Structure formats: C-alpha cells, structure tokens
Chain A
Amino acid sequence: MSLELINSPILALVQDKGRFSYTSIGVTNSGVMDEYAYLIANKLLGNEHNTNIIEIAFSNIIFKATKNTMIVITGAKCEFFINEKVLNTWQTHNVKAGDIIKIGKILSGSRVYLGVYRGFNIEKEFTSNSTTLKENLGGLNGDKLQKGDILDFNSFTNSSFVRLKEKYIPNYEEELNLRVVLSYQEDFFKENQIDKFFSNTYTVTNEFNRMGCKLDGKEISCDIDGIISEGIAFGAIQIPKDGKPIILLKDRQTIGGYPKIGSVLSIDCFKLSQCKPLQKVKFIPITLEEAQKKVKLFYSSFRT
C-alpha cells in the first residue's frame, strides 16, 4: 500500500509521456495533456523525465498515504491540502504515512498533476503507463482511477523541499496565442480564408477532451470536402464541413479524412490543454524553422 484513493474523482488518469510506435495499428499516442506541468513536476522531484504521474481533470480527489514520500502538485491552480492545511503547488512536499492529500476546487486552468518521488510502481502496457480509456490500455487495468485504488511507490523520507520560481508558473487565464505551421492541405485554402483564420479570435467550446478541442468563430472554408484518410499529427487543425477548427490532441485518432490547414506547435497545445470553455485563442503563423527552434528550446531546458 502506498497511496490509496478514498473518494470517487470524475476523471483522474495515470499518464506519462505517451505510448509510441503503435500508431500504425491505430493505437493513439496518449500521454499527459500538459507536458510543461508534467516535466516541471518531475524536475522538482528529481525524477527521470518519463516518470508516471496522475492527471486530474474536474478536480476533487482525496488520497491517503500509507508510506513516506515526497509529492508535488503542478498544472491548474487549485485548492491543495495535506491534513487540511492549505499548501502551495509547484513545490515539493514531504508526506508521512497516514497523511491525507486533498485537491479541492480548480481555480484556474483545467488539469492538475500529482507526482511522487520516483513515480508509481505500475507495470507498463506496451511501453507506457498512459491511460487511454477507449483502448482500455495503461493505468490500472486500462481504466480511470476509482475509489479504493492503491498506487504503490517506494518509501522515501526527506526533509528539504524544492520550489519553482514564481516567474515560471504559467497564467492559464490569458488570451492564448497558438502558433501554427501551415501544412498538410494548406494549398486547398484560398488566401482570403487563411487571412480570416489568422486575423480572427476563436473561442474554446465545451467539445473539448483528451482527443481534441473544437473552436467557435469565423468559419473557414476549404476547396475540398474531404481527403483520403491519412496520418494525423499532434496539434493538427482539422477544418470540417461546418468550417469551425478542431485541434487534435493526445488521444486523437491516428488517421482521418478531414482537410487540415496546418498544425499548432506542440508546446502551445500544452497551454491549450489548460484552457476552459469560452476562453479566447488566436492563431499566429510561424515558419517551420522558427517553430523547430522554439520546440527544441523548450525540451532543451528539461534535458540534464
């Protein structure tokens, strides 16, 4: 016994960086929605970068620790308590056997990450602990976490703590700029449609889950209705017949037949993953060369 779940959360999933190399048979990548919050959590804990974590959406989750460890909460701003004492997120905390860890309401952002020192001892399924509900893979028996679940870890006793500098803690309420590399079927969108796409503001709708995010705003029209099904990138922007963009995220289908105008930078999709319905986003064009520089810079800061 290590961490016992004592309530029934709406959606808490064990995740890691994702499950790779099975997309050719239709298995999605899965993985944490917000890699920034995830990588910071593991960095603060001194963990390997692919260590598993719990991703909590809609909040309200209570655990009882039955061994000593060190934990950290990152991601969405939330009420966080150990034994009813309010504590800071983005900072490690030493937990003793018997402590009650509670995450209450989410205050801004939409996904909270709870990591422990060296991660949970869960056998990987096809190279990953990432849970994909529709595939029944990963996590504990391919399912979301339920009341009574026990997540084992190795006991660890520590007295110091590590905190993230304030300036690195994201503000999830700002209007978000999503940088886009034009790609795929870009040639089937007329210039005035591409202008429209980049000059208007879009609104996040409630059709938003781990598979993708549907936006509302000015309709974009494409010269073609559909394409022959092809591989879909993380962040790809589909334009279905209704003209409202859909950005495809971690649990996306591996192939699909809607035209795509381009793809949002992976590192911006992490920020999008913390958006709430009605939040505003804007698309900004970026060249592939510049985009690769930005993404390399992001990951370089986590390479040790």
Chain B
Amino acid sequence: MQFKIASVDSLIIYFGNEISQDVSTKVKKAFKSISALKDEALIEIIPSYNSIFITYDIFTYNFNTLKEKIESSITLDILEKIEEKIVTIDVYYGSEVGFDLEDISKKTSLSISEIISIHSNKLYDVYAIGFLPGFAYLGNVDKRIAMSRLSSPRKIIPKGSLAIADTQSAIYPQNSPGGWNIIGKTAMKLFDKKLATLSPLSVGNKVNFNPITKEEFLKQGGIL
C-alpha cells in the first residue's frame, strides 16, 4: 500500500501499478474494511482498478493520522475469500441493437454466435464505476473479442447498450456520446433514481450476461 496526497482534504492509496485481478482483489478487500469502519469523517471512498481515493474531514484527521488509522484497520490477506454478489444481466445480442457485431465478426473472423458465446460465457469483475453514474468497468473480456475503441466516437449511444473497449466491457446507463463497440442491449436499469441504491452494481460485484431473445427483451421493456 502506497499512500499519496490527493488534495487538501483527500488522499489516495495505491495497491499496485497494473490492472489485474490480484490488484483488484486487494482494492476490494481494503474497500470493504474501510467502508466497514462506518466512519463519518470519511466523506467519500472511491475504489478503482488499483487505488482507493478518500476524502476526509480535516477537523478529524490529517494525512498521517488517517494513514495510520487505515493501515491498522485493513488486512490484505490474499487467501481469505471475499463474498461477491453475482448480478445477472439479460442481454439481447441482436444486430439491430449491437451495431458493431458484424464489424467485430469481420475483424476477428469469428461468427456472431461465437462472439456472443465468448462474451456471455464469462464472469466479469466490476473494477470501477465512473465516467457516467452507474457506468461499471467490467473485466476482462476474452482477448479473442477484445476490440479497440472506434476511431470516431458516436454522438449518441442508446441507454442500455452493452459495449466492449479493449479487454473491458460496460453498459451505458444513459444516452451518451461514446467510442466503445456496441454488441447488444439490456432492458435492465443501471442507474435509476427509483432504485434505492441508485445503481444495481458496485465495485466488488461480479457480473454474468445472459443472452435472451428479441421477444424476451421486448417483454422486459427493451427498446430496439
């Protein structure tokens, strides 16, 4: 663990220098123990791929006292299993909503059904959430279907679109410009103020994609 100043009232803890499951596991464990402190002087706790950012009340802590407190309250026992909630997301992988499926098929010489099967036969980790509220960065996408971002981003990617960029996958929680490759769509709400938790996903969850038919997608309220 390496502690660095972030601003007058925040610090950042690094758990490694690369994106990997090992580093992410450390982040998740530390995030869990820091959150469990339920310390009101820790105003924001943002876990990401290899770091945890914390905003703190400077009337309670300074950099050193908070560093000591955190060092003494988290253990990063790699062998200890952590319970991870699995969230299943139904996806319609159809070409009407998966704008880039054909292009990926051409580039990879894989059939569309192979791409779908490779993408959906995997349990993904939520590494980080950001860019948009509820936009979860999921990894890792199988290298066979890893695709670099589009050279010119789309002006609007529809809400619910499932996308790939390099070895990461994500769902756009709202209409947004974006440069990721679109392979499908879900009717599930990834950010909605009617949800008690605002978003069904948080860092530390695992995600599983379940391919559904067009009929099921429409029945769930999906929009083509």
> Measured between alpha carbons, how far is A290 from B130 in the docked complex, in Å?
32
In the complex, whether B49 has a CB less than 8 A from a CB of chain A is yes
**A263 / chain B contacts, CB cutoff of 8 Å:** 6-8, 10
Contacting residues, chain B, for A235 (C-beta < 8 A): 7-8
Indicate whether A301 reaches chain B with its CB closer than 8 angstroms: no
Closest residue on chain A to residue B43 by CB atoms: A20
Given A24-B47, A236-B6, A263-B7 in contact, is the A229-B130 Cβ separation under 8 Å?
Answer: yes
In the complex, chain A residues whose CB is within 8 Å of the CB of B51: 228, 230-231
- For the complex, give the distance between the alpha carbons of A31 and B8 in Å: 18
Indicate if B25 sits at the interface (CB-CB under 8 A). Answer: no
> Contact residue range for chain A?
35 or more
Given contacts A229-B48, A295-B58, contact A25 B6 (CB under 8 A): no
- Residue of A256, A265, A289, A292 near B130 (CB, 8 A) is A256
CB 8 Å contact bits of A20-58 with B (1 = contact, 0 = none): 111111111100000000000000000000000000000
Cα–Cα distance between A26 and B49 once the two chains are bound (Å): 14
**Residue from A21, A25, A291 in contact with B134 in the complex, judged by beta carbons closer than 8 Å:** A25
Given A229-B48, A231-B46, decide whether A181 and B5 contact each other with a Cβ distance below 8 A: yes
For residue A156, CB closer than 8 A to chain B, the reply is no
B193–A254 CB distance below 8 A: no
Cα distance A134–B131 in the bound complex, in angstroms: 11
Kindly list chain B residues whose C-beta atoms are within 8 Å of the C-beta of A231: 6, 10, 12, 44, 46, 48, 51-54
**B131-156: contact bitstring with A at CB < 8 Å (1 yes, 0 no)?**
11111010000000000000000000
State whether the Cβ of B19 lies closer than 8 Å to any Cβ in chain A. Answer: yes
Q: Mark A158-184, 1 if CB is under 8 A from B, else 0.
A: 000000000000000000000001111
Binary contact track B197-210/A, C-beta < 8 Å → 1, others 0? 11101110000000
CB pair A26 B129 closer than 8 Å: yes
Which listed residue, A25, A236, A295, A296, touches B133 by the CB 8 Å rule? A25
Residues of A275-304 whose CB lies within 8 A of B: 288-289, 291-292, 295-296, 299
Interface membership of A122, Cβ < 8 A: no
Please, what's the 1-or-0 string for A45-83, where 1 marks a CB less than 8 Å from any CB in chain B?
000000000000000000000000000000000000000
Contact among B6, B128, B134 with A255 in the assembled complex (CB-CB below 8 Å) = B128
How many residues of B are counted as interface, with CB atoms below 8 angstroms from the partner's CB atoms?
46
Residue in B43, B55, B131 whose beta carbon sits within 8 Å of that of A253 in the complex = B131
- Chain A nearest CB from B186 CB (Å) reads 17
Shortest Cβ distance from A290 into B: residue: B8
Contact flag A26-B133 (CB < 8 Å), given A228-B48, A288-B63, A292-B62: yes
Cβ contact within 8 Å between B7 and A23: no
Task: Chain A residues near B63: list those with CB within 8 A.
Answer: 288
B22 to chain A minimum Cβ distance, whole angstroms, is 14
Question: Is there a chain B Cβ closer than 8 Å to A125's Cβ?
Answer: yes
Q: Is B43's CB under 8 angstroms from A21's CB? A: yes
Instruction: Return the contact of B129 from the options A24, A182, A232, A265 (Cβ within 8 A).
Output: A24
Instruction: Report the bound CA distance from A265 to B131 in whole Å.
Output: 24
Compute how far the CA of A64 lies from the CA of B198 in the bound complex, rounded to whole angstroms: 35
Chain B residues 27 to 44 lying within 8 A of chain A, measured CB to CB, are 31, 43-44
Q: Quick check: B133 and A183 within 8 Å, CB to CB?
A: no
Q: Nearest Cβ in chain A — how far from B190, in angstroms?
A: 10
| CB-nearest residue of chain B to A299 | B59
Is B45 interfacial (CB 8 A cutoff)?
yes
Is A5 on the interface with B (CB-CB < 8 A)? no
How far is B14's CA from A231's CA once the two chains are assembled, in angstroms?
Answer: 11
Cα of A254 to Cα of B48 in the assembled complex, Å: 10
Closest to B127 in A: A229
Q: Are B6 and A183 in contact (CB under 8 A)?
A: yes
Q: How far is the CA of A256 from the CA of B134 in the complex (A)?
A: 15
Within 8 A of A (CB), among B170-224: 191, 193, 197-199, 201-203
Whether B8 and A288, one on each chain, are in contact in the complex, defined by CB atoms closer than 8 angstroms, is yes
Q: List 8 A-B contacts (CB under 8 A).
A: A25-B199, A26-B129, A181-B5, A183-B5, A184-B6, A230-B48, A231-B44, A288-B8
Known: A23-B46, A181-B5. 8 other contacts (CB 8 A): A20-B43, A25-B129, A27-B133, A184-B4, A229-B128, A231-B48, A233-B7, A266-B9
